[in-house]
Every structure is written in structure tokens, then in C-alpha cells.
Amino acid sequence: MELRHLRYFVAVAETLSFRQAGKQLHVSQPSLSVQIKQLEDELGVALFWRSKRQVEITRAGEVFLSAAREILLRLQQASAAAVHTEVGDVGTIRLAFIPTASLQILPRLLDKITSTLPLVSVELREGAENLQITGLRSGTFDVCIGHLSRTYDQIENMLLTRERVVVALPKGHRAARKKFVRLRDLKLNVYSINGNVDVLKIDDKLPLEPGYVLHSQ
């Protein structure tokens, strides 16, 4: 049994006419009749009742028709999937991100992927810099969104956005009235907020020089 037998059978079953099916398939009526007979001989059942006036599908033919349509549909889907995969239009993107990226960058990125690559799925994983770099090197992640404290060998990076850092201080804080605030003016575990309420924890591991200046509003 070959795929052409299924296509020929479905065409005849849908038109109930060897003549019309032959025109659709660009196959002569005698050749089409031979192909259907070969299929029936292989299956060992009659798929059609034939007379000079009409063609009727048998009960066995009805059952086989459903299966044949499913096979041809799956073949079409498999062919399309192979083509889309070849050009990168289908697959999975494994993406790691820091929490602050979910406020602006990540939603815009996901919307863009959905609109331009509808057959691509995205697996999301929240993680800090160390987790992201390890995941990129091991192949666990395809791409990451985060803050880099330095450059890494064999890791390509690009700037997505610049974020302005704003310090929120309680009334009466000794640095609240300063025009410029240095890290040494702040205690550990103080939280900074940028213009979009993006929260970053300032501690001794923050990748800033000791003399880094934070501008007041």
C-alpha cells in the first residue's frame, strides 16, 4: 500500500465518481480503477459497490475513509512541521529571566514571539546571574535576560535597556536631603526603586564600585 492509494481512495469516496475523482487527481479513469482495485485486493475487502449508474461506498469503505483521512492529515502536518523546523519557525525557546524583567521586557518579548512565531513555545525559568550563566553553558537555557556583573567567555550579550536607579529613603534619614547619595551612605538591605517600581536589593554583593553615586530625585 502506498500513499497514492489513500489519496485516490479518498478522492473517489468524497466524489462517489471515478470520473470526477480522476479529473481532480489528473489521473485517467481506467488507471484510477486499477489503483482502487489493488487497494481492495491488499485489504481483502470491497471499498465500493460499483454499477453502471453509480458508485456507493461500503461499510468497510466508510471505516477505512476515516482512517485514510487521518493518515493524510498527519502526513500533511508532519511535512509542515519539518519545513517550519528547518527555517526556525517551530520549536521551544528555553528562557531564564530575573524577576524585574517580568515587569516590562519579558511581556513585550513574549508578545513579539507569539505574534511572529506562533508555532514556537517558550519555557520560562526565573533565576539569578549564576544560574543563568551555568544554564547557558550547559545548554539548559537558550537565552537569558538579566543583569551581568561582568563579561563571560563564550557568552554573547547585548544591551536591552538602561534603567535609572532611584533610592527610597524614610523621612529623617541622614542621606534623604543629599543631592547625590553614595553606597557608603546607605545601610545593607536598603531597597532601591527605579521609575517603574523595579525593586533591586542593595547589599555587599551588588556589582557597583564603592564610590558609585546614586542621584536623588
Query: In the chain, what are the domains?
Result: 3-86 (1.10.10.10), 90-145 (3.40.190.10), 163-217 (no CATH)
The C-alpha atoms of residue 183 and residue 217 are separated, in whole angstroms, by 16
Sorted by sequence, the CB contacts under 8 Å of residue 56 that are 6+ apart come out as: 16, 48, 49
Task: Please report which confidence band the pLDDT of residue 113 belongs to, taking 50, 70 and 90 as the band edges.
Answer: confident
The C-alpha atoms of residue 29 and residue 23 are separated, in whole angstroms, by 8
Average pLDDT, the chain: 80
pLDDT of residue 141: 93
Question: Helix, strand or coil for residue 199?
Answer: strand
Mean pLDDT of 193-197: 38
pLDDT of residue 89: 66
Mean pLDDT of 5-24: 91
Mean pLDDT of 154-180: 79
Mean pLDDT of 172-188: 72
pLDDT of residue 204: 41
- Number of CB atoms found within 10 A of residue 8's CB: 26
Q: Is the pLDDT of residue 202 over 60?
A: no
Q: Where are the alpha helices (DSSP H) in the chain?
A: 3-15, 18-25, 29-43, 59-87, 105-116, 129-138
Q: Is the pLDDT of residue 109 over 70?
A: yes
Q: Is the pLDDT of residue 107 over 60?
A: yes
Q: Is the pLDDT of residue 215 over 60?
A: no
First CA to last CA distance, the chain: 77
Q: Is the pLDDT of residue 200 over 50?
A: no
Task: Please report which confidence band the pLDDT of residue 87 belongs to, taking 50, 70 and 90 as the band edges.
Answer: low
| Number of helices followed by number of strands (H, E) in the chain | 6, 9
Give the residue among 36, 31, 34 at the shortest CA–CA distance from 7: 36
Find residue 120's DSSP bridge partners: 91
Mean pLDDT of 53-81: 89
pLDDT of residue 97: 93
Q: Based on the number of CB atoms within 10 Å of its own CB, is 169 exposed (0-12), middle (13-18) or buried (19 or more)?
A: middle
